[in-house]
Amino acid sequence: MKAKFLICGLFVMLAAGCAGNKEMLTTSINEAEGMHRAAQAEGIQSAATVQGEKDLASAKQLSEEGKDNEALDAAEHSRLLYRLAFAEKDAKDAALADSTASKELQGDQESQKLYQTILDNETQDKEAAQ
């Protein structure tokens, strides 16, 4: 009797675990699809997005075949690749902004030197006139 109860309990836990994996798989695929659409909207094209698309397609195919664990791995890998693509884009944008700010600063420093030279010349002319 105890053995039957234990086996039934294990079966229920296994079924609940599989249902949880299916829900996680669906969530992961949906998130990867959302990130895919966002990457397309942002115009992000990189090796990471290409591989992410492949992994997303693979996750969907594996899910249809009932290979939930492999599908979950592929979906999670796809999500990570899309996150990498967004991070690379952010880093590129930050580098561009830094370069632009550096050029503006250099221009401001040159202007400051020019204005200081003019001010020094005027000061010397006033002192010479007195």
Residue 23 or 14, more confident: 23
Q: Give tens-digit pLDDT for 68-81.
A: 889 999 999 999 99
Tokens standing for 58?
């693979």
- Note whether residue 17 is domain-resident: no
Asked if the structure places residue 40 within a domain, the reply is yes
What domain range is 57 assigned to? 24-128
Q: What is the pLDDT, as a whole number, of residue 20?
A: 57
Write the single-letter amino acid at 67: K
Domain count, the chain: 1
The answer as to whether 56 is a domain residue is yes
**How confident is the model over 68-122, as pLDDT tens digits?**
889 999 999 999 999 999 889 988 888 888 788 888 878 778 888 888 888 888 8
Residue 10 inside a domain? The answer is no
Residues with Cβ within 8 Å of 49's Cβ and at least 6 positions away in sequence, in order, are 36, 39, 81, 82, 85
Six token digits for residue 86: 């967004």
Domain assignment present for 13: no
pTM metric for this prediction: 0.66
Distance CA 3, CA 121 (A): 101
Least confident of 3-12, 17-26, 35-44, 86-95: 3-12
